[in-house]
Amino acid sequence: MSERAYLVAEQSVEIETGDDVGVRWRTLTSADRTPTGQLTSGVCEIEPGGKLDLHRHPPLELYHFLAGSGVVTLGDEEHRVGPGDTISIPGNCPHAIRNDGTTLLKLFYVFPVDSFSEVVYTNL
């Protein structure tokens, strides 16, 4: 697929879910779905009490938090996060997120890969 300028409206993208409790996401850019490459991005929402379990994957990932509050685990360390915070997660670094707040935790994520299908998760 050739790259070109591309606009995507978040609300027009299908919501996806997995095995993690209270977690849903929308893949906004991914070469297998959009005329984009080099970066895959999306938004993730975690309900109060929900969590993205500890996992890792080879590519680097960035989280930028948009709303809510929670805790991100990076290896053996925990970090409080909220709106305006950005975390860079090196490839293969074990990480998890939990929403310990009372409102929706929302973040924007980015991988430096063409397609989300290139991100191979290993649950820990």
Does residue 51 form part of some domain?
yes
Please give the pLDDT value at position 2: 60
Instruction: Report residue 4's pLDDT band, with 50, 70 and 90 as the boundaries.
Output: confident
Mean pLDDT of 82-97: 98
Instruction: Indicate whether 27 pLDDT > 70.
Output: yes
The 3-class secondary structure across the chain, one letter per residue, is CCCCCCCCCHHHCCCEECCCCCEEEEEEECCCCCCCCCCEEEEEEECCCCEEEEEECCCCEEEEEEECCEEEEECCEEEEECCCCEEEECCCCCEEEECCCCCCEEEEEEECCCCHHHCCCEEC
pTM above 0.85, yes or no: yes
* Total number of domains in the chain: 1
Does residue 46 form part of some domain?
yes
CATH number for the domain that contains residue 36 = 2.60.120.10
Does residue 80 form part of some domain?
yes
Interval 41-72: pLDDT, tens: 999 999 999 999 999 999 999 999 999 999 99
In terms of residue numbers, what domain contains 82? 14-118
Does residue 124 form part of some domain?
no
